[in-house]
């Protein structure tokens, strides 16, 4: 995968990545300098800084980091920080890239987050099998930091399960506590009672990497790129029908056309776009020219950047086959806890499959419309919401294709190799 920047002021997070050695502490400090001392930037000041920078979480929900940090700081008990490197979104590559190539930026950010909430203990969670590069890189980075004595916090590594829901905040906390990788009901929020029943800040590793640079250079520097509402840069994984798929660092609000150009340009005509990964939205190819890569622009098309995955579907691919495979995958990744998700997800996946095969009962499309409307908000986590949105935007974006499959069964492109990756099951079912 290639990495590059779009804007002259970038890259920031990905600085130095084109040459080897950024995973080493000495080189990291050469490039970025050391962190401001606690006397110069204490916990409350750090939270204020994150607030002024309008730093939002990069795990998918884009929740303001300062609000979370403040909630943890305000909770009673010794706080704990979890650096969440469990991407679990099958098409996203940014978090694994950060852990493998830029571990010190993430660890700097995690140490700062600990300072912000008054924690002495940081758990860095990565995905077990997929994360083997991450483990090696993190172990080496932590050894270097211990030898150099740069941290006053204690770090611990945690190999998380490899399921779609592994990185969901409460699911990750449950695993660290020795439980199953399943979401839990809120309240309590992890900010109130999380790991070892202590107030817990769970923050995505990209968010932490941004915090590491904001602490060094300030909120004004951070907001020198991006939009007023969404300042700074963000990492996106661009895949599909582009000439140079990979992880890119862009200014928030970059024109989608510029991003696609940075990714080598489109490889021919496209049928549509998937933005935000498997919890994301399908959009027709026609909107490319008017889209900017920020939530303000995407929201006008009922879409969000989410985990930052952007996939261009080539016109030769079948949107129905791609949608069905992902819907089945998501339905099998249910934690099997909440009735509406267990039954609704299975019904959606089954019905979509029947439509793709041309064997659906009349009214199947109406059933899908009803289920995708009634499912959101009715699970302990957002899996049903994500699935419903993924499917309803597919139906809306490719109505002719779904109608054609319902009438005539599989099309010529249905047998083409899958573009949207489906991980192999990693647990007994």
* Contacts (CB under 8 A) with another protein, residues 15-34: none
For another protein, which is the closer residue by CB, 82 or 380?
A: 380
* Contacts (CB under 8 A) with another protein, residues 203-242: none
Strand order in the sheet with 233-240: 2-5, 246-251, 233-240, 309-314, 270-275, 281-284
Selection from 89, 64, 271 nearest residue 164 by Cα? 89
Instruction: Kindly state the smallest distance separating residue 215's Cβ from another protein, in Å.
Output: 35
Q: Which of 41, 112, 117, 380 binds another protein (CB under 8 A)?
A: 380
Judged by CB under 8 A, the stretch of 45-53, 80-88, 256-264, 378-386 that binds another protein is 378-386
Residue 379, interface with another protein (CB under 8 A)? Answer: yes
**Residues binding another protein: what is the number (CB under 8 A)?**
14
Residue 337, interface with another protein (CB under 8 A)? Answer: yes
Q: What are phi and psi of 326, to 5 degrees?
A: -70, -40
Q: How far is CA 420 from CA 89, 92, 120, 299, 354, in A?
A: 11, 11, 40, 23, 20
Instruction: Kindly state the smallest distance separating residue 340's Cβ from another protein, in Å.
Output: 5
Residue 174, interface with another protein (CB under 8 A)? Answer: no
Residue 177, interface with another protein (CB under 8 A)? Answer: no
Burial 82-94 (b: 16+ CB within 10 A, else e): bbbbbbbbbbbbb
Q: Which of 134, 163, 171, 184 binds another protein (CB under 8 A)?
A: 184
Q: What angle do CA 155, 156, 158 make, to 5 degrees?
A: 145
Strands 309-314 and 121-127: unpaired
Instruction: Kindly state the smallest distance separating residue 348's Cβ from another protein, in Å.
Output: 13
Is residue 34 within 8 A of residue 212, CB to CB? The reply is: no
Selection from 245, 387, 230 nearest residue 297 by Cα? 230
Residue 340, interface with another protein (CB under 8 A)? Answer: yes
Judged by CB under 8 A, the stretch of 83-91, 142-150, 220-228, 375-383 that binds another protein is 375-383
What residues have CB less than 8 Å from 12, skipping those under 6 apart? Answer: 213, 233, 249
Q: Which two tokens stand for residue 326?
A: 């992902």
Residue 350, interface with another protein (CB under 8 A)? Answer: no
Residue 185, interface with another protein (CB under 8 A)? Answer: yes
Judged by CB under 8 A, the stretch of 70-78, 236-244, 377-385, 409-417 that binds another protein is 377-385
Instruction: Kindly state the smallest distance separating residue 386's Cβ from another protein, in Å.
Output: 15
* Contacts (CB under 8 A) with another protein, residues 93-132: none
In this structure, what DSSP letter does residue 233 have? E
Residue 344, interface with another protein (CB under 8 A)? Answer: yes
Torsion-angle region of 116 (φ positive above 0: left; ψ -120 to 50: alpha; else: beta): alpha
Residue 391, interface with another protein (CB under 8 A)? Answer: no
For another protein, which is the closer residue by CB, 343 or 407?
A: 343
Is residue 209 within 8 A of residue 25, CB to CB? The reply is: no
Separation between Cα atoms, residue 252 and residue 292, nearest integer Å:
8
Q: Which of 244, 378, 396, 423 binds another protein (CB under 8 A)?
A: 378
Residues in contact with another protein, shown as a per-residue x/- string from 130 to 169 under the rule CB under 8 A: ----------------------------------------
Instruction: Kindly state the smallest distance separating residue 375's Cβ from another protein, in Å.
Output: 9
For another protein, which is the closer residue by CB, 192 or 234?
A: 192
Separation between Cα atoms, residue 281 and residue 299, nearest integer Å:
10
Is residue 307 within 8 A of residue 60, CB to CB? The reply is: yes
Residues in contact with another protein, shown as a per-residue x/- string from 304 to 323 under the rule CB under 8 A: --------------------
Instruction: Kindly state the smallest distance separating residue 387's Cβ from another protein, in Å.
Output: 15
Separation between Cα atoms, residue 401 and residue 396, nearest integer Å:
10
Interface contacts to another protein, rule CB under 8 A: 184-185, 337-341, 343-344, 374, 377-380
């Amino acid at each position: 995968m290639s990495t590059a920047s779009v804007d002259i002021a970038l890259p920031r997070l990905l600085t130095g990545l084109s040459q080897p050695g950024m995973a080493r502490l000495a080189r990291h400090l050469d490039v970025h300098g050391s962190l401001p001392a606690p006397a110069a930037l204490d916990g409350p000041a750090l939270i204020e800084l994150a607030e002024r920078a309008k730093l939002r979480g990069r795990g998918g929900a884009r929740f303001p980091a300062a609000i979370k940090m403040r909630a943890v700081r305000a909770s009673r008990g010794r706080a704990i920080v979890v650096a969440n490197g469990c991407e679990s979104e099958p098409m996203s590559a940014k978090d694994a890239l950060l852990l493998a190539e830029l571990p010190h930026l993430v660890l700097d950010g995690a140490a700062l987050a600990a300072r912000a909430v008054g924690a002495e203990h940081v758990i860095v969670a990565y995905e077990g099998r997929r994360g083997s590069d991450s483990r090696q890189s993190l172990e080496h980075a932590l050894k270097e930091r211990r030898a150099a004595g740069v941290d006053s916090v204690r770090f611990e590594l945690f190999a998380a399960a490899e399921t779609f829901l592994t990185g969901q905040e409460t699911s990750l906390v449950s695993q660290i506590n020795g439980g199953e990788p399943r979401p839990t009901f809120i309240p309590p929020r992890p900010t109130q009672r999380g790991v070892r029943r202590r107030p817990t800040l769970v923050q995505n590793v990209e968010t932490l990497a941004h915090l590491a640079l904001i602490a060094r250079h300030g909120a004004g520097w951070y907001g020198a790129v991006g939009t007023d509402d969404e300042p700074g840069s963000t990492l996106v994984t661009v895949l599909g029908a582009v000439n140079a798929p990979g992880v890119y660092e862009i200014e928030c609000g970059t024109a989608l056309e510029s991003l696609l150009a940075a990714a080598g340009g489109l490889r021919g005509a496209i049928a549509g776009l998937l933005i935000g990964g498997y919890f994301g939205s399908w959009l027709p190819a026609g909107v490319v020219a008017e889209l900017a890569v920020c939530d303000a622009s995407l929201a006008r098309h009922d879409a969000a950047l989410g985990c930052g995955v952007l996939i261009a579907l080539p016109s030769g691919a079948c949107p129905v086959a791609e949608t069905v495979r992902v819907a089945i995958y998501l339905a099998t990744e249910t934690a099997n806890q909440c009735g509406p998700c267990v039954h609704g997800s299975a019904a959606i996946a089954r019905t979509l499959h029947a439509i793709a095969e041309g064997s659906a009962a009349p009214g199947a499309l109406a059933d899908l419309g009803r289920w995708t409307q009634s499912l959101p908000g009715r699970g302990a986590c957002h899996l049903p919401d994500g699935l419903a949105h993924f499917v309803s935007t597919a139906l809306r974006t490719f109505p002719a294709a779904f109608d054609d499959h319902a009438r005539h069964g599989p099309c010529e492109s249905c047998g083409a190799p899958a573009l949207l990756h489906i991980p192999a099951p990693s647990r007994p079912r």
